Amino acid sequence: MSDKKIGFVGYGAMAVPMGENLKKAGYDVVAFTPSGKAAGKPSNVPMLSSPREVAENVDVIILCVPDDNAENKTLNGENGLLAGLRKGQLILDTSTVSPPQADHLAKIAHEHGVDVLDTPMSGSTPESERGELIMLAGGTDAVLERARPILDIVGRITIHTGPAGSAARFKLVVNGVMGATLNIVAEGLAYGLSEGLDRDMLFNALQELAVISPHHKRKLKMAHNKSFPSQFPTRLMNKDMGLLLDAGRKTGVDMSGMAVAAQKLARSNLSHRDEDYSALFAQMEADVANAPS
């Protein structure tokens, strides 16, 4: 395997910039999506007819799908990925899936003689476009070194989290912190508005404080402008919080704060499903505006 031919299964908002960056670096890139189209702007990446066809024509397969169900659909069946796998290939799973799903993929890849890393990413579309994602990698040292040239193009750093499945678990930690922290900032903002503090002052002042992360300052800017372009849609954050709480329930760990945030995001998902998850600010602003006087 030369590892110069890469096939994406799932070619959405995060994958398209990754593919473009890999093409610029000299890789041959193809993709499959159920719709037969790439997300967002037009792409010159050839679109193949099935996951099986992707597997039959590449050295490296990058999975970038929304959830466990979508991943299993791409894997199984007559035209599924497993039907076209060849020994010696490499699978990089950039999807955010449940820990059992990550373990399942590692097992079946091993059975097919295929190298695999769970490689979920931390970052949104701006980081993907710039090739500055933080890539999390679960798997052996040898497979990580094989994948590193690819990971170094799509990301600015790769964190080796441990054995196969560990990156999928750590990604839930990352997204849980993101979701719960956003909820705390939104609650603070809502309190300030309820006390009659000036809206512009609140948003501008919070942008200056070290206690607000750079990520959440970007989300505050969206909320200030009342515009929520979907860098990380609410539906996906809502899904990830559910995965985290389910996993935590199985270990027995107390995640009360995460659970509260998950409920808030689930409610926001009813109205802001396809907007950025920072639309939670809009939900809470509306609650303040509609509260009885």
| pLDDT tens figures, 122-143 | 999 999 999 999 999 999 999 9
How much is the average pLDDT of 67-93? 97
The one-letter code for the residue type at 3 is: D
Whether residue 196 sits in one domain with residue 149 = no
Judge if 143 and 10 occupy the same domain: yes
Q: Distance between CA atoms of 18 and 20, rounded to whole angstroms?
A: 5
Looking at the fold, whether 204 and 255 belong to one and the same domain comes out as yes
Alpha carbons 61 and 58: distance in angstroms, whole number: 7
Pair (182, 148) in one structural domain? no
Q: Work out the average pLDDT over 250-261.
A: 96
pLDDT reported for residue 122: 95
Task: Share the mean pLDDT of the chain.
Answer: 96
Length of the chain: 293
Domain edge (last residue) among 107, 135, 162: 162
| C-alpha 48, offset from chain centre | 23
- Do 256 and 124 lie in a common domain? no
Exposure string of 222-250, with b = 16+ CB inside 10 Å and e = fewer, is bbbeeebebbbbbbbbbbbbebbbebbee
Summarize the confidence of residues 209-213 as an average pLDDT. Answer: 95
Are 146 and 91 contained in the same domain?
yes
Which two structure tokens, joined as six digits, stand for 118? 């769970």
Residue 151: pLDDT band (50, 70, 90) is: very high
The domain boundary residue, chosen from 127, 162, 197: 162
Contact 34, 69 (CB under 8 A): no
Helix, coil or strand: residue 67: coil
Structure tokens at 259: 């659970």
**Phi, psi of 209, deg, nearest 5:** -90, 135
Answer yes or no: do 130 and 182 share one domain: no
Query: Which pLDDT score, from 0 to 100, does residue 148 have?
Result: 98
Domain count, the chain: 2
Helix or strand run (H / E) with residue 176: helix 166-194
Mean pLDDT of 265-278: 97
pLDDT given for residue 293 in this prediction:
73
pLDDT tens digits along 22-48? 999 999 999 999 988 887 666 789 999
What is the CATH number for 96? Answer: 3.40.50.720
Q: Do the Cβ atoms of 61 and 54 come closer than 8 Å?
A: yes
Q: What per-residue confidence (pLDDT) applies to 41?
A: 63
Which pLDDT score is estimated for 40? 67
Residue % of the chain over a pLDDT of 90: 94
- Look at the alpha carbons of 128, 216, 63, 274 in this order and tell me if their dihedral is positive or negative: negative
Name the H helices within 39-165.
51-57, 68-75, 81-84, 99-111, 125-130, 141-154
Clarify whether residues 147 and 45 are in a common domain: yes
The range of the structural domain enclosing residue 62 comes to: 5-162
- Domain match, 156 and 178 both: no
Residues 184 and 282 in one domain: yes
Residues 187, 143: one domain?
A: no
pLDDT digits (tens, 9 = 90+) for 167-205: 999 999 999 999 999 999 999 999 999 999 999 999 999
Q: In the listed set 128, 162, 196, which residue is the last one of a domain according to the structure?
A: 162
CATH number at residue 177: 1.10.1040.10
Share of residues in the chain with pLDDT > 70 (%): 99
How does residue 292 score in pLDDT terms, banded at 50, 70 and 90?
A: confident
